[in-house]
A and B are shown apart, each in its own frame.
Chain A
Amino acid sequence: MQFVLVPPSNMHRHFGSLLSGAVGADVTFEVAGDMFAAHRCVLAARSSVFMAELFGPMKEKAMNCIEIKDMEASVFEAMLHFIYTDTMPDIDQEDAFVITHHLLVAADRYDLERLKLICEDKLCMCIDTSTVVTTLALAERHGCQGLKKACFELLKSPSHLKTVMATEGFDLLLASCPSLIKELLAKVAPCP
């Protein structure tokens, strides 16, 4: 007999409110012109990079506002959302591919392993002949083994491979990552 009903965890909602409400926020990030308030402890708890940055002996320890370069504001915002709630934010369908792509890069940069895998997973599901080349380049650059395998899987089919090889992106990939093409050939046309 069940005497007590324990509800499922809602911790992510509380932390999400903490982020949106910015109560007790002790640091601000400037990203591509936009400002984001956050809490040092939370960021440090979730990312070893932020831990070293925000509690290390360098400048950032005492700075109120830190500038983040080479990142889009919406991507940073999405990353913050994940940091606080451990979930992916809602993304419009039309931007999903692009945002996920950039979010993966951000996760890799700031050592958010789970976020990286979630993005990898999402990208796996929308691989097609138009996206496979860029996705493959991304996977190679950021060490995403699962995503790479998924791309090779698509290219195993000769018709797909033919389509892709005709694109400009493929030529660029060939020029910049020859080893990747070698790997691809090994997978796609295994020697008997």
Chain B
Amino acid sequence: MSGGGPPRKRNFKIEAFKNRVELDPKYAERTWKVLEHAIHEIYNHNASGLSFEELYRSAYNMVLHKYGEKLYDCLQNTMTWRLKEISKSIEAAQGGLFLEELNAKWMDHNKALQMIRDILMYMDRTYVPTSHRTPVHELGLNLWRDHIIHSPMIHSRLVNTLLDLIKGERMGEVINRGLMRSITKMLMDLGPAVYQDDFEKPFLDVSASFYSVESQEFIECCDCGNYLKKAERRLNEEMERVSHYLDAGSEAKITSVVEKEMIANHMHRLVHMENSGLLNMLVDDRYEDLGRMYSLFRRVPDGLSTIRDVMTSYLRETGKQLVTDPESLKDPVEFVQRLLNEKDKHDKIISVAFGNDKTFQNALNSSFEYFINLNNRSPEFISLYVDDKLRKGHKGATEEDVEVILDKVMMLFRYLQEKDVFEKYYKQHLAKRLLSGKTVSDDAERSMIVKLKTECGYQFTSKLEGMFTDMKTSQDTMQDFYAKKSEELGDGPTLDVHILTTGSWPTQPSPPCNLPTEILTVCEKFRAYYLGTHNGRRLTWQTNMGTADIKATFGKGQKHELNVSTYQMCVLMLFNNADGLTYKDIERDTEIPASDLKRCLQSLACVKGKNVLRKEPMSKDISEDDTFYFNDKFTSKLVKVKIGTVVAQKESEPEKQETRQRVEEDRKPQIEAAIVRIMKSRRVLDHNSIVAEVTKQLQARFLPNPVVIKKRIESLIEREFLERDKVDRKLYRYLA
């Protein structure tokens, strides 16, 4: 034991059955009376005069001597009586004071209950659990619930008062939120079932009708944007209301009521509202309105899909018009620019207003994929657009700008179904750019190739890279040629040869034409030099692709340097020996094909500012009866005059047919290769499955035509790669 003081006297013994006689019913009754008095004192706010020790000990003794049941029952009766009195005083409260009186009495009851529970702690700990009765605190709450909240005189008055206050607040009045908080907290303390059944359910019902009416009013008089603003405001209000004086569990329920009444029920009317609906918002780029619509609609079922569907059909319609509009088809660069603009517009809407929602991104992509392929010239036009951007003379664009544009173009490229068509055109246009020296920057060109390679793989770009290699090699070859042969060449015209590897460059028929003697000489010298170092190769001059710089002196002695095509050079050189020549003369001497010749003469004689030749009769078109004269009177402000630029142009009809044919021809072996690959691994397969598999394998490049696939299968059967099954004609077997 702790130190200090003499040991205590131990003059007691165990009296196990002591006190049993003392605590007869009379004593129990007396003890209860003390406690009853205390309870009343507590409710009368006189607790400070009571002795806890004494009261606790009394209750303890009662329980110890088996009067727990009496104590509990008496407690229950006393509290019930007390609460009935309290109920009367609450009922008597007038008007606005009703809620305050209820709240004040509730606070009192809680304090009293705490003290009563403390005094009766021993009973709560021992008798209550063993007899399975409700603990004191819970008992106090249940009695309050039963005799106050559920009292007929109070119950409906309470609910109506609360709902009226909320309605008032919704209409703009200021209410006592602290009091509301206290009341709803009281209901929650009495049990979630009380809060839900007695308050929350009627609250939700009343709110539903309130918002149903209000939304109907709004939609009759507001445009879409304003309606959504109002709806958003109401939604925020309700959430704020919950945070201030309702139970947090009500938030989801009330917001879903507002969402249903104000948004879900009017969704279609809002979206399709004339002059202010979704379509107008999209067209006018109203980001704020769109963003609001998105955030509100995502709360309701099918909300976002409704927006998405409208956007998709708008996009498809707009896109379809764009690609089929005959005006825009006249200018390919403009065509592609408009597509890019449309993409930019929608990208911005999705990123700013729709939070970069992936499903919208997908809808955008599928729409573009749909309409871009409606026009089968899209691949060609996209290539022309890139060509335009990569040409020299494109003012104002920095390196980064060009990079950005190319990346955007790549996005359009991805949508193309016929990527092999694009490849063909790109090759053609690239060839023209390289050979005419018109690329704005080598880096930009290579950057584009890298992007295509990343997208489509090495096969796609290997030939393109071959073209670049040829250009570099040609440079080296020319240097070497002039280093070795400069004395031999002397004063002749300077030659600059590009040697093109046949497989890499677009195939062109190259009808020969008669070159001027001076040119021929130096060309032959080059051929001898080249074949000397590259045995076994064959060189063919591509006269339709070359250019020439000619020094010309005109009537009054003006000297100009003319930059012309090879064909044009051949024609002009003829005029060194004659002043006038007929069309037929020129045709005979140069042997240039008719359509090319006509175009050539037209550019030399009929274009203002470039008419180094004079035509008789004067007219826009070239006829076979025309005569041409050297134009002595030619003037130009520029010393260097460009006459023949080999610009990539949108193809004429016949050219287009030709390219299309070549594409179809190229597709045949690819389809056959795919069929053989598939059959080799599967051995036996039915027709429909082959078609599906082939389509799947080739779709990265183009969409194969099932009719063509069928023809290829038949061709492979003829060549004994496959055979048809004897019994089932739709089944094919691989022949090893």
Measured CB to CB, the residues of A under 8 A from B are: 16, 19-20, 34, 48-49, 52-53, 56-62, 66-70, 72-74, 77-78, 80-81, 89-91, 95, 98-99, 101-102, 109, 111, 133-134, 137-138, 141, 143, 169, 172, 176
**Given A56-B115, A109-B122, A74:B48 Cβ within 8 A:** no
How far is it, in angstroms, between the C-alpha of A78 and the C-alpha of B14 when the chains are bound?
Answer: 17
30 A-B pairs in the complex with CB atoms less than 8 angstroms apart: A20-B3, A20-B4, A49-B56, A52-B56, A52-B118, A53-B53, A56-B115, A57-B47, A57-B115, A58-B50, A58-B51, A58-B52, A59-B49, A59-B52, A60-B53, A61-B48, A62-B48, A72-B8, A74-B1, A77-B1, A81-B2, A89-B2, A91-B1, A98-B12, A111-B125, A137-B17, A138-B16, A143-B126, A143-B130, A169-B16
The answer on a CB contact under 8 Å between A52 and B10 is: no
Establish whether residues A77 and B8, one from each chain, have CB atoms under 8 Å apart when the complex forms.
yes
B64 at the binding interface (Cβ < 8 Å):
yes
- Report the separation of the CA atoms of residues A101 and B14 in the bound assembly, to the nearest whole angstrom: 8
Chain A residues positioned under 8 Å from B57 (CB to CB)? 69-70
**Given A20-B2, A109-B60, A141-B64, A58 and B115 touching (CB < 8 A)?**
yes
By DSSP majority rule, is chain A's interface helix, strand, loop, or mixed? helix
List chain A residues, Cβ under 8 A from B48: 57-59, 61-62
Range, interface on chain B: 20 to 34
Residue of B nearest to A85 (CB): B2
Residues of A within 8 A of B53 (CB): 53, 60, 66-69
Residue contact A58 to B47, C-beta cutoff 8 Å: yes
Partner of B121, one of A16, A52, A68: A52
**Which are the 6 A-B pairs with shortest beta-carbon distances?**
A52-B118, A74-B8, A58-B52, A89-B1, A53-B52, A134-B16
B119: chain A residues at CB < 8 Å are 52
Contacts of B61 in A (CB 8 A): 70
Query: Across the interface, which residues of B come within 8 angstroms of A62, CB to CB?
Result: 48
Number of residue pairs spanning A and B whose beta carbons lie under 8 angstroms apart: 92
- Asked if B132 is at the interface (CB within 8 A of a chain A CB), the reply is no
Report the separation of the CA atoms of residues A20 and B3 in the bound assembly, to the nearest whole angstrom.
7
Determine whether B20 belongs to the interface, using a CB cutoff of 8 Å to chain A.
yes
Contact pick for A34, options B8, B50, B111, CB 8 Å: B8
CA distance A185 to B17 in the complex (A): 22
Bound complex: CA of A81 vs CA of B17, how far in Å? Answer: 28
Residue of A nearest to B13 (CB): A98
Besides A60-B53, A66-B53, 8 more A-B contacts (Cβ < 8 Å) are: A20-B4, A49-B56, A49-B121, A53-B56, A58-B115, A90-B1, A98-B14, A111-B125
Contacting residues, chain B, for A16 (C-beta < 8 A):
2
Contact string, B110-149, partner A, CB cutoff 8 A, digits 1/0? 0100010011011001100010000000000000000000
CB distance from A191 to the nearest CB of B (A): 25
Do residues A102 and B12 form an inter-chain contact, with CB atoms below 8 A? yes
Q: Which of B12, B55, B115 has the most CB of A within 10 A?
A: B12
For A34, the closest partner residue in chain B by CB is B8
* Nearest chain B residue, comparing its CB with the CB of A141: B64
Q: Tell me, in angstroms, the Cα distance from A62 to B713 when the chains sit together.
A: 106
A102 shortest CB reach to chain B, Å: 7
Give Cα distance in the complex from A48 to B119, angstroms: 11
With the chains together, A73 CA to B11 CA distance in Å? 11
Residue from B49, B51, B126 whose CB has the most chain A CB atoms within 10 Å: B51
B50 surroundings in chain A (CB, below 8 A): 58-59
C-alpha spacing A101/B18, complex, angstroms: 14
| B-side contacts of A137, CB under 8 Å | 16-17
A81 touches B1 (CB 8 A): yes
Closest to B12 in A: A72
User: How far apart sit A133 and B10, CA to CA, in the bound complex (Å)?
Assistant: 22
Q: B275 to chain A: closest CB distance in Å?
A: 69
CB distance from A147 to the nearest CB of B (A): 13
Question: Closest Cβ of chain A: how far from B31's Cβ, in Å?
Answer: 13
CB-CB < 8 A to A169: which residues of B? 16
Would you give the shortest CB distance from B397 to chain A, in whole angstroms?
69
- Chain B residues in 8 Å Cβ range of A89: 1-2
Task: Let me know if A77 and B52 touch, CB within 8 A.
Answer: no
How far, in whole Å, are A143 and B122 apart by their CA atoms in the complex?
12
